[in-house]
Structure 1
């Protein structure tokens, strides 16, 4: 006898995959990977040569020796001493700042402006109707006043 698989599990999994936020996340990962390549190219092609005008083109080569003597092997590994590789931290920080700027100025800011225009059009389409928000206390006061008015008018008729 073959066992029947619960169709609810597959249906639930399909619903999970088709939810908007999962698809949005997948798109964000793909776009993020593309931005990473662009940012790495900008850092490698523009930032590093500008830094190279002052020192070396490779930011990873900037370091400080915290404990003397710092000696490195031919492959770049430290054989003695404690070497602080602040150049690689600087490079990673530049990558982050450039990525954040690109995402903000090319995606977040234009999307915010677009959504503001859509909202303004929606409000203009609805007209200038103002929705008056009434607090719970104001409603209770109105009910009290109405009950007092009813009670008062009922006593006069007797």
Structure 2
């Protein structure tokens, strides 16, 4: 009996994994992980140096201290309570850039494409409805003409 239960559980798990949503999600996670490397490279290679033109080239070095901090020769903070707001700024830039790229290169074009496809589908559906209504009206006119023709033919007999 336990073998049937395991088979049922395994079969259910296999069915779960083979559903389209799970596979799509797995692909999205893998692509997202690869895409993260690209965005991080853009931020570290382009954005950070541009921001660094106004200060240090590494945003992670931007900080403030709640209590007086001692800074070693290598630039590390050894005393005090540092607030590492540069790291937060860097992460925020990563997020904004990632969101912008995903929106403008993936979401917006896909939305426009789906809207066009929906408009075409509605146009086709609308054309079929008009044709069906028009055909029905023509058939009614033909029927009425035949009835009138029979009625006039019977009178002549």
Tell whether the structures are fold-level matches, with TM greater than 0.5: yes
Larger Rg: 2
SS at match of 1:56: coil
TM-score, structure 1 normalization: 0.73
Structure 1 residues not aligned, in runs of 5+: 131-158
The structure with the largest helix share of the pair is 2
SS at match of 2:53: helix
Does residue 127 (structure 1) correspond to residue 140 (structure 2)? The answer is: no
Structure 1 residues 56, 76: closer, same or farther in 2, change over 3 A? closer
Residue pairs, 1:1-158, within 5 angstroms? 4-6=3-5, 7-68=7-68, 70-73=69-72, 78-127=77-126, 129=129
TM-score, structure 2 normalization: 0.73
Structure 2 residues not aligned, in runs of 5+: 131-157
Deviation of 1:127 after TM superposition, in Å, equals: 1.6
Deviation of 1:106 after TM superposition, in Å, equals: 0.8
The structure with the largest strand share of the pair is 1
User: What RMSD over aligned residues (CA atoms) do the two structures have, in Å?
Assistant: 2.2
In structure 1, distance between residues paired with 2:50 and 2:76:
26
Deviation of 1:40 after TM superposition, in Å, equals: 0.6
Deviation of 1:89 after TM superposition, in Å, equals: 0.5
